[in-house]
Chain A
């Protein structure tokens, strides 16, 4: 069955370190997204991609980067982790088209000490 996976599921790191969160989908979806979930804010969009080599900034992109070298993967990199980036991170993917639902990964809980 097609799926979307994230790794690691839990990560503890220190301020200033570079961290990469992996996202892999086997749906063959063109569209991929990264969100962070914080209490009181719901899910906020960090970066998104509508195809290979396409990346775009979301509403909370500062301190994060992504690259899309193939259809299946969209890794999220925190260049220099900050305590404010402690959060739960969700990756999602969807087919093209505004009406298509996004399928979410299980989430990665990141703690920055």
Chain B
């Protein structure tokens, strides 16, 4: 069965520290997608990134970077030089993929990041 594990329930850092959020997944599919979403204190869910199972290149977007490693079934998210505005709950998710355009998401439990001034 598919499963997503975010072992870090809460992380607290001081501004400008680098922080890595871990995500480990389980799937028997050979084709799948991984996502990260951010949920700031206001409550909405914001899409951050998508990665398909055939693309193991790391991704960098400003202070955000993602490290996808199929060998360890991990899709970790690093924030460099964290800022108070990064304080949020971050969710990693796995998409089950079937023919016909189906895309159910399986979410991890989330990691609450608190960045202190």
A43-B91, A98-B95 known; A50+B101 contact, CB < 8 A: yes
Name the distance in Å between A4's Cβ and chain B's nearest Cβ.
10
Q: Is the Cβ of B109 less than 8 Å from the Cβ of A40?
A: yes
Q: Is B63 in contact with chain A by the CB < 8 A criterion? A: no
Q: Is the Cβ of B103 less than 8 Å from the Cβ of A30?
A: no
A99-B33, A99-B52, A101-B47 known; A42+B104 contact, CB < 8 A: no
Tell me the residues in window 11-46 of chain B with beta carbons closer than 8 Å to chain A beta carbons: 31-33, 35, 37, 43-45
A-contact 0/1 string along B96-108, CB 8 Å cutoff: 1110111111111
Q: What is the number of contacts between chain A and chain B, taking CB atoms within 8 Å?
A: 71
Contacts of A97 in B (CB 8 A): 101, 103
Of the candidate stretches A19-27, A65-73, A79-87, A102-110, the one touching chain B is: A102-110
Q: Is the Cβ of A42 less than 8 Å from the Cβ of B103?
A: no
The number of chain B residues touching the other chain, given as a range, is: 20 to 34
Q: Is B70 in contact with chain A by the CB < 8 A criterion? A: no
Q: Is the Cβ of B44 less than 8 Å from the Cβ of A106?
A: yes
Name which of A30, A40, A50, A98 has the most chain B CB atoms within 10 A of its CB: A98
Q: Is the Cβ of B95 less than 8 Å from the Cβ of A103?
A: no
Q: Is the Cβ of A98 less than 8 Å from the Cβ of B98?
A: yes
Q: Is the Cβ of B50 less than 8 Å from the Cβ of A42?
A: no
Q: Is the Cβ of B104 less than 8 Å from the Cβ of A107?
A: no
Query: Across the two chains, which residue of chain A brings its CB closest to B100?
Result: A50
Name the distance in Å between B24's Cβ and chain A's nearest Cβ.
14
Q: Is the Cβ of B103 less than 8 Å from the Cβ of A31?
A: yes
Q: Is the Cβ of B50 less than 8 Å from the Cβ of A101?
A: yes
Chain A interface residues (CB < 8 Å from chain B):
30-31, 33, 35, 40-45, 48, 50, 58, 88, 90, 92, 94-104, 106-107
Chain B interface residues (CB < 8 Å from chain A):
4, 6, 9, 31-33, 35, 37, 43-45, 47, 50, 52, 91, 95-98, 100-110
